[in-house]
Amino acid sequence: MSEVRARNSSRTRQDLLDAAAALFGERGYERSTIREIGERAGADPALIARYFGNKAGLYLETLPTDDTGPALADILDPARIEETLRRVNLLGPGPVLQAVIRAHDEPSVQAAASDRVDKRLTEGLEARMREEKLQSPRLRAQLAVAALSGIALARSAGTLEELASADQEDVVRLTAAMLGSLLGP
């Protein structure tokens, strides 16, 4: 006789979150499917739509919301640039990075992604430039985020062959110099 799992919506929701976080961490957003998440959670994949709206909404729920992780006020740090390039190349762009380059179909997901982009990527840069009394701090911060995002995406896509095949250290060094000129006086 097979064991029937008791229906518990909060447990199923948490199982889906745990399975999604694991898969997104292993494979990235693009390479993880709703079906695989449901299978790993032992739940009907259709429940993702019920609890989270869609895969992007589920992904956003798996992201840390306490913002205690590294802020990108240190976007000029070569280690931070290298980590961004490596992560996008390995896991592909998640919904938050995609929010930098295009709008999501679902307005609530777009609003959440935009908020995360602001909190995790631009606020620290903007605050630092305001303290230094630089002109257009928000615009500069958003340009820096867009530039780093675009470099990471273009490098991983491989369509700009020189960028895709360039030595990682060279790309990091040149990116840091470009961002330094944008974020400096």
Q: For residue 95, give every residue at least 6 positions away whose Cβ sits within 8 Å of its Cβ, in sequence order, or none.
A: 29, 56, 59, 60, 104, 109, 113
Show the domains of the chain with their CATH numbers.
9-62 (1.10.10.60), 72-183 (no CATH)
Query: 73 pLDDT exceeds 50?
Result: no
Q: How confident is the model at residue 72, as a pLDDT?
A: 47
The phi and psi torsions of 132 (rounded to 5 degrees) equal -85, 0
Task: Name the residue among 88, 104, 97 with its Cα closest to residue 63.
Answer: 97
Q: How confident is the model at residue 64, as a pLDDT?
A: 64
pLDDT 10s digits, 138-183: 999 999 989 998 999 999 889 899 999 999 999 999 999 999 999 8
What's the DSSP call for residue 132? Answer: T
